[in-house]
Amino acid sequence: MVQEVLLRLCAGFIKTIELFLLTLAGAVPLGLIVAFGSMSKFKPLRIVVRFIVWIVRGTPLMLQLIVIYYGPGLLFHQNIWGMGTSGRFTAVMVAFIINYSCYFSEIYRGGIESISKGQYEAGQVLGLTRRQVFFKIVLLQVIKRIVPPMGNEIITLVKDTSLARVIAVYELIWAGQTFIKSDGIIWPLFMTGIFYLVFSGVLTILLAKFEKKLSYFN
Amino acid sequence: MPILEVKDLHKRFDRSEVLKGISFSLDKGDVLGIIGSSGGGKTTLLRCINFLERADKGTISVNGKVIFDAAQHDLTVEQQRENQLNFGLVFQQFNLFPQYTVLENVELAPRLLKRYPDAEIRERSMSLLKRVGLDQKIDRYPCQLSGGQQQRVAIARALAMNPSILCFDEPTSALDPELTGEVLKVIRELAEAKMTMIVVTHEIAFARDLSDKIIFLDHGVIAEEGPAKQVIDNPQKERTRAFLNAIQK
């Protein structure tokens, strides 16, 4: 029994990790693009981007998941997500990446805007290009400042992956919950909690290490 | 021919006109001191010369060649960068790059812009750091240095791009009084080595000793200019006298 539970939980956990890693891989870079959009000197773009960020941050991720998955089919009679599990998984990924890009973008924006004007000007009077100033001077300072808030979001993402089940993506909690119905036991569900704790614990340690690595300057 | 010639420079921010037609020239190897009360336009003038602000009107020429003309907008970014590199700027707040060591701060721009072969960059940087007395601290990070040391690194960093004219924007204003001496000493040594410099400062005694020529900037115009000792010791204008009296009390 224990073995069977562990096997099923691991299958769910793998899906959870997959959701987690793919969301990060998509949202970390996309967030930077959104951040640049929200800081654009071109006002219409800035307004549109900030409006989208407001919508995404101001509504529940669960609502976004449902709308993104069912919306195209019900509104336009067009099932853009494809059939079966892979289609649902794609829809989840799209929703998660959009949602987290918006959160990350605000963290990036805060970080970028916190860098003093003097750093840009020092680079400029030395003849560096705008690109060089950003990548060689500003970026690492921004990264240092955003590690703590990004850590928060990343830990939140670990737990948010459980929302994927609302459109029937088989993840960790669902794996645990099935045993309530089939066998009348709740301890597998408690075990899922341990999976989350260990996972977020490992991430906390990694983030602390990274933070320490960047502590040589301020 | 003067190395620098500024003609009729105007700059306006929203409603207030900060520079109302500044003209002056500077000979090679000379030091120009700019004094005046806060808000008089000293920093804005320096920022216009260093292309951190775009003047609304006027021209700037170096060695007889016009490198900035407010009426012309067709300079490419690259041309503008080349023109701007005639000048170096040392900031009031140092603005060292915190994630780089002393040596990396000095070498960053020459390396990125491939100004010299790598070995030469290293050699030049080391000799510049020796010149400012920091060749023993090349592996330190800015946060491990005192303000005076940081400012000396900033001077070496500005010199690393080999500017024709080095500008200082109140280089000692952010320093504790006991640290200003070491920075002033470096600037003085540069003057002795005939570096052409423009120094915006509140240190009147220093400006008097160091400068060949002084400009007193007041409400966006040059209220008085002349040989340093004459302007400081024997000002001709009432405004200059009032300013010097107020600052020396």
pLDDT digits (tens, 9 = 90+) for B88-142: 999 999 999 999 999 999 999 999 988 888 899 999 999 999 999 999 999 999 9
* Same domain flag for B137 and B78: no
Contact A126 B50 (CB under 8 A): no
User: Chain A neighbours among B 47-76 (CB < 8 Å)?
Assistant: 50-52
pLDDT digits (tens, 9 = 90+) for B24-75: 999 999 999 999 888 788 999 999 999 999 999 999 999 988 889 888 887 8
pLDDT the model gives residue B249: 61
- The pTM (predicted TM-score) of the whole model is 0.86
* Same domain flag for B184 and B81: yes
- Nearest CB partner across the interface for A136, out of B52, B98, B112: B112
Contact A141 B50 (CB under 8 A): no
* Same domain flag for B76 and B168: yes
Contact B97 A137 (CB under 8 A): yes
CA distance B237 to chain A (A): 35
Contact B51 A137 (CB under 8 A): no
Q: Which residues of A touch B158 (CB under 8 A)?
A: 125-126
* Same domain flag for B156 and B206: no
Contact A127 B91 (CB under 8 A): no
B13, part of any domain: no
* Same domain flag for B33 and B144: no
* Same domain flag for B223 and B194: yes
* Same domain flag for B78 and B168: yes
B20, part of any domain: no
Q: Which residues of B touch A121 (CB under 8 A)?
A: 52, 91, 95
CA torsion B181-B182-B184-B190 (nearest 10°) is 150
Residue range(s) defining the domain that contains residue B139: 97-162
Residues 6+ apart with CB under 8 A from B205: none
Last residue of a domain, one of B115, B147, B162: B162
CB A10 within 8 A of CB A171: no
- The domain segmentation of chain A, as residue ranges, is 2-213
The complex's ipTM works out to 0.92
Of B81, A216, B105, the closest CA to residue B68 belongs to B81
Task: State whether the Cα torsion A52-A55-A60-A66 is positive or negative.
Answer: negative
* Same domain flag for B46 and B82: yes
Collapsed DSSP state (helix, strand, coil) of residue A158? helix
Tokens at residue A131, please?
A: 């690109």
B177, part of any domain: yes
* Same domain flag for B147 and B186: no
CB B25 within 8 A of CB B4: yes
- Predicted confidence band of residue A186 (pLDDT cuts 50, 70, 90): confident
- Predicted confidence band of residue B76 (pLDDT cuts 50, 70, 90): confident
Provide residues of A within 8 Å CB-CB of chain B: 116, 118-119, 121-129, 132, 136-137, 140-141, 144, 216-218
B220, part of any domain: yes
Task: Name the domain count of chain B.
Answer: 2
B12, part of any domain: no
Contact B91 A118 (CB under 8 A): yes
Residue B146 has φ and ψ, to the nearest 5°, of -75, 165
Size of interface A-B (CB pairs under 8 A): 62
**What mean pLDDT do residues B136-164 have?**
93
Q: Assess B77–A contact: CB distance below 8 Å, yes or no.
A: yes
Interface residue of A115, A124, A126 to substitute, partner B, most B CBs within 10 Å = A126
- Nearest CB partner across the interface for B112, out of A121, A128, A217: A128
B61, part of any domain: no
Question: What is the C-alpha to C-alpha distance for residues A172 and A8, in angstroms, rounded to an integer?
Answer: 9
Give the CATH number, domain containing residue B79. 3.40.50.300
Q: Which fold has domain A2-213?
A: MetI-like fold (1.10.3720)
Task: Say whether pLDDT at A157 is over 70.
Answer: yes
B67, part of any domain: no
